[in-house]
Every structure is written in C-alpha cells, then in structure tokens.
Amino acid sequence: MIRAALVAAVALLTGCTSPTIYSWGHYEDLLYVMYAAPGKAPPELQIERMEEDYQKARSLNKPVPPGFHAHLGYLYYQIGKADQARQEFATEKAQFPESTVFMDRLLDNLARR
Amino acid sequence: MKSGPGHLVLCVALLGVALAGCATKSYDYTNYRAHPPRSILVLPPLNESTDVKGTYGYLSTVTMPLAELGYYVYPVAVVDHFFKENGMPTAGEMHQAPLNKIREIIGADAVLYIVLKQYGTKYQLINSATIVTAEAKLVDARTGVLLWAGQLSAQENSGGSGNPLADVIAAMLQQAINQSTDHAHELARTANVQFAIKDHGLLYGPYHPKYGEDSKP
C-alpha cells in the first residue's frame, strides 16, 4: 500500500515530463546491485541480463541508453573476453559519437594488453 | 488488526516542492545557452550524509534522468573504474580532477558534480522519515563556467494513526520493509525528477525531440 502510493506519486511526476526515449532494461538496476551487493551481480550475470535487454530493445525497435554498450564492453573485459569488449566499445561509439574520445582510449588500452 | 500499514499517512514532500517551484522565477540560463553541452560526465557523488551507501546508491540513479532529457551520459561505472585505476580511488579525489584533463581524456562537454547532504531513513518510535537531499552543479569542461546548479530533494514520512499499539506495529513493519529495500535509493529517483522541472532544471539535450525549443529565453 505504502509502496503503491509512492510508485503512483513517482509515476504521476515523471509522467508529466517526457516519453521514454530509450529501452532501459536492467542497466541502472544492475549498476545499483553491483555496488550495493557485488556478489549478487557478477559480470557473467550482468552480461546475460544486458544481452537479453538488448534483444528486447531491438524487438521493440528502441535504442538502448547512453553507456549501455560501454558498460557491457567493460563487463566482457572483466571476464577476459577482449574481442567482445572491443566490439561493444565500437558499438557505443557508433551509436553515440560523443563517446569517441573515451571509447578510443578504452580500445587503445585493450590493444596494449 | 485493521490499522495496518495502510493507515500510515504517506507524504511525498516533493510534490509540494515541484509545484511551488513553478511559481518562482526561471533559472538564469545565460551561461548554459552560451555553452550547450551534448555530453555529461557524472562523477560519483561526494557523500556528506551518514550513510556509506550514499555515493553509489545515488550514482546508479542519475543516468536515466539526464539521458531522457537528451544528453549523452558517460557510463558511470566504467568512468568510476577508470578513475580508480588512474590513482583516484574516492569521489573526493575524482571531484578534484582538473577539468582540462577530463576534457582531454574523456572528451566530456560538461561535468556534473553532486554532493549528497542527506541520504537515509531516520526511525523514531512510531514515525520514520526517509530523506534525500543533494546539491548538483553542472560545469562546462572547456571553460569551467557554471552552467547550472540546483538542489535535488525528496522526503517521505510515515506517521501515526492515533492508535498507539497499531502505530508501533506499523512502524516496525515499515522499518522492516525499508531496511530490506534501501528506501533512500528509491527516493533518489523521486529527487531526480527535479532535473526535469521546466524553467528550473536542465535544458533539453540533443537527443530529446524538443531539443532547441528552450534554447532561447
């Protein structure tokens, strides 16, 4: 009841602002859990969720949000899958040219390992 | 036992803040309009609250409101990791990083600095209050000019119904709910609605359909 009221209030407030540009999936939820309870969000699990989110976004014909592919790339990097990491950083760059400087830096770092 | 948690009075103070905000005069967007950013780097918030979970509990809520306003938002955890690997392990140190270095290394147009003043839930015998208060500053990474500053806050109170026994039980239930869910984290999302309040929050960014409509006074 309490939570329902809060959710309704939030929905009311956010409802006034704008429609959703992006398909968010679990991106922010995973960010929260990976810091609050790291054991509950190991990279493998995050990757699985985010790949599902990505497929869902594609089926909805909606873009994934800024940082999504970069975060996914970073997760692949953490488990030693450099090729997938590289591919995700490149995808982030193609979707959002604003990320170019940072993505190129991460790609350079990967190349030097 | 009909006087359960459903009888608690819920008050989302933000509603009042949001509505009151509309009556006051608009923020001065002169600098903002002179240096309109496309991309925003969000640094982990500096935590001045008593709750150690504040920094990352808050950080994980900031991407969505900024991106939905139309900005490119750098991947917050990747950025955090990058700073840590480069000798800046804490939010305090990250907030001291020179802007020209941030510009050069990450390429951000603007940097969002958040200082958490309050984050958490206070319990009394029959009442509890969850409060989130943050001060935010958006700074142009090229010039160091302040583009925008604002306070993001939300409060949720639960009070008594007048029946003392029922109230104590309800408060205990409420506390159990809150402790299992980190209520302040969820309330941070409510506070973040203030990024989007017309004439007081941020202007629309390039990925928003209304980009440019608010670019003139």
Distance CA B125, CA B160 (A): 10
Is B67 near chain A, with CB under 8 Å? yes
Which tokens is B37 given? 């950013």
Q: What is the CATH number of domain B11-196?
A: 3.40.50.10610
Those residues whose C-beta lies under 8 Å from the C-beta of residue B80, and which sit 6 or more positions away, are B44, B59, B94
Question: Contacts of residue A22 in chain B, CB cutoff 8 Å?
Answer: 67-68
Identify whether the C-beta of residue A66 lies closer than 8 Å to the C-beta of residue A89.
no
CA distance B114 to chain A (A): 17
Distance CA B45, CA A67 (A): 18
Distance CA B33, CA B35 (A): 5
What is the predicted pLDDT for the residue at A11? Answer: 46
CA distance B72 to chain A (A): 6
What is the predicted pLDDT for the residue at B181? Answer: 61
For residue A108, the Cα-to-chain-centroid distance in whole angstroms is 21
- The enclosing domain of A63 has a CATH number of 1.25.40
> Domain residues of chain B, as ranges?
11-196
Distance CA A77, CA A89 (A): 10
Q: Select the residue from B8, B19, B52, B72 to test the A interface by mutation, using most A Cβ atoms within 10 A.
A: B72
Identify whether the C-beta of residue B208 lies closer than 8 Å to the C-beta of residue B70.
yes
Give B115-131 pLDDT, tens digit per residue: 999 998 887 777 778 89
In the stretch 114-143 of chain B, residues with CB closer than 8 A to chain A read none
Residue A48 belongs to some domain of the structure: yes
Helical spans, DSSP H, in chain B: 13-23, 30-34, 54-59, 63-68, 76-85, 91-95, 99-105, 164-181, 183-191
Identify whether the C-beta of residue A47 lies closer than 8 Å to the C-beta of residue A76.
yes
Which tokens is B176 given? 């159990």
Tell me the percentage of chain B whose pLDDT exceeds 90.
Answer: 64
Distance CA A53, CA A101 (A): 26
Question: Contacts of residue A36 in chain B, CB cutoff 8 Å?
Answer: 53, 56-57, 182, 185
With bands split at pLDDT 50, 70 and 90, how would you rate the model's confidence at B161? low
CA distance A19 to chain B (A): 8
**Scanning the structure block, which residue is given the tokens 């985010």?**
A50
**Cβ <8 Å between A102 and B189:** no
Q: What is the span of the domain harbouring residue A86?
A: 22-111
**Cβ <8 Å between B78 and A21:** no
Question: How many domains does chain A fold into?
Answer: 1
Q: Select the residue from A7, A17, A22, A26 to test the B interface by mutation, using most B Cβ atoms within 10 A.
A: A17
Q: Which residue of B6, B105, B156 is in closest CB contact with A6?
A: B156
Is A93 near chain B, with CB under 8 Å? no
Phi and psi of B8, rounded to 5°? Answer: -65, 145
With bands split at pLDDT 50, 70 and 90, how would you rate the model's confidence at B180? low
Stated pTM of the model: 0.84
Helical spans, DSSP H, in chain A: 2-15, 27-36, 43-60, 68-78, 82-95, 100-111
Say whether the ipTM exceeds 0.90: no
| In the predicted structure, residue A72 carries a pLDDT above the cut 50 | yes
